[in-house]
Amino acid sequence: MSFYYTRIVHFQDTDAAGVVYFANVLAMCHEAYETSLIAFGINLKVFFSNQEVAIPIIHASVDFRRPMFCGDELSIKLMPKGWGDDEFEISYQVFLKEVGKMWVARANTKHVCIHPQTRSRQKLSDEMRRWLLSFGSS
Amino acid sequence: MSFYYTRIVHFQDTDAAGVVYFANVLAMCHEAYETSLIAFGINLKVFFSNQEVAIPIIHASVDFRRPMFCGDELSIKLMPKGWGDDEFEISYQVFLKEVGKMWVARANTKHVCIHPQTRSRQKLSDEMRRWLLSFGSS
Amino acid sequence: MSFYYTRIVHFQDTDAAGVVYFANVLAMCHEAYETSLIAFGINLKVFFSNQEVAIPIIHASVDFRRPMFCGDELSIKLMPKGWGDDEFEISYQVFLKEVGKMWVARANTKHVCIHPQTRSRQKLSDEMRRWLLSFGSS
Amino acid sequence: MSFYYTRIVHFQDTDAAGVVYFANVLAMCHEAYETSLIAFGINLKVFFSNQEVAIPIIHASVDFRRPMFCGDELSIKLMPKGWGDDEFEISYQVFLKEVGKMWVARANTKHVCIHPQTRSRQKLSDEMRRWLLSFGSS
Q: ipTM of this model?
A: 0.95
Lateral strand order in the sheet of D57-64:
A3-8, A73-81, A87-96, A103-112, A57-64, D57-64, D103-112, D87-96, D73-81, D3-8
Within 8 A of A106 by CB-CB distance, chain D residues are: none
**pLDDT number for residue A109:** 98
**pLDDT number for residue D92:** 98
> Does the beta-carbon distance from B11 to A30 stay under 8 Å?
yes
**pLDDT number for residue C82:** 83
Asked whether residue A138 is assigned to any structural domain, the reply reads: no
Asked whether residue B138 is assigned to any structural domain, the reply reads: no
* Residue A57 near chain B (CB below 8 Å): no
Within 8 A of B43 by CB-CB distance, chain A residues are: 71
Give the residue with greater pLDDT, D106 vs B82: D106
Asked whether residue B18 is assigned to any structural domain, the reply reads: yes
Asked whether residue A54 is assigned to any structural domain, the reply reads: yes
What's the mean pLDDT in A53-78? 97
Domain span holding position B73 = 3-133
Judged against a pLDDT cut of 70, whether residue C138 lies above it is answered with no
Asked whether residue D138 is assigned to any structural domain, the reply reads: no
pLDDT digits (tens, 9 = 90+) for D67-95: 999 999 999 999 999 899 999 999 999 99
Q: Quick one: A64 exposed, middle or buried, by C-beta within 10 A (0-12, 13-18, 19+)?
A: buried
* CATH value at residue C16: 3.10.129.10
- Annotated active-site residue D126? The verdict is no
Q: To 10 degrees, the CA torsion angle through A66, A72, A75, A76?
A: 60
pLDDT digits (tens, 9 = 90+) for C106-137: 999 999 999 998 999 999 999 999 999 999 86
Q: How far apart are CA D43 and CA D22, in angstroms?
A: 29
Q: How many domains does chain D have?
A: 1
Asked whether residue C117 is assigned to any structural domain, the reply reads: yes
pLDDT digits (tens, 9 = 90+) for C43-68: 999 999 898 999 999 999 999 999 99
Helix-helix angle D22-39:A22-39, to 10 degrees: 170
Tell me the β-bridge partners of D108: D61, D91
Q: Count of CB atoms within 10 A of residue C132's CB?
A: 16
Task: Give start and end residues of each alpha helix (H) in chain C.
Answer: 22-39, 44-48, 126-133
Q: A122 pLDDT band (50/70/90 cuts)?
A: very high
Report the first-to-last Cα separation within chain A, whole angstroms.
Answer: 8
pLDDT digits (tens, 9 = 90+) for D34-47: 999 999 999 999 99
Nearest by CB to C70, which of D27, D48, D70? Answer: D48
Asked whether residue A73 is assigned to any structural domain, the reply reads: yes
Q: D137 pLDDT band (50/70/90 cuts)?
A: low
Distance from CA of D2 to the nearest CA of C (A): 21
Q: How far apart are CA D123 and CA B74, in angstroms?
A: 48
Judged against a pLDDT cut of 70, whether residue A63 lies above it is answered with yes
Q: D97 pLDDT band (50/70/90 cuts)?
A: confident
Residues constituting chain A? 138
The fraction of chain C above a pLDDT of 70, given in percent, is: 98
Judged against a pLDDT cut of 90, whether residue A137 lies above it is answered with no
Nearest by CB to C34, which of D10, D34, D48? Answer: D10
Q: How far apart are CA B47 and CA B55, in angstroms?
A: 9
**pLDDT number for residue A69:** 97
Asked whether residue A7 is assigned to any structural domain, the reply reads: yes
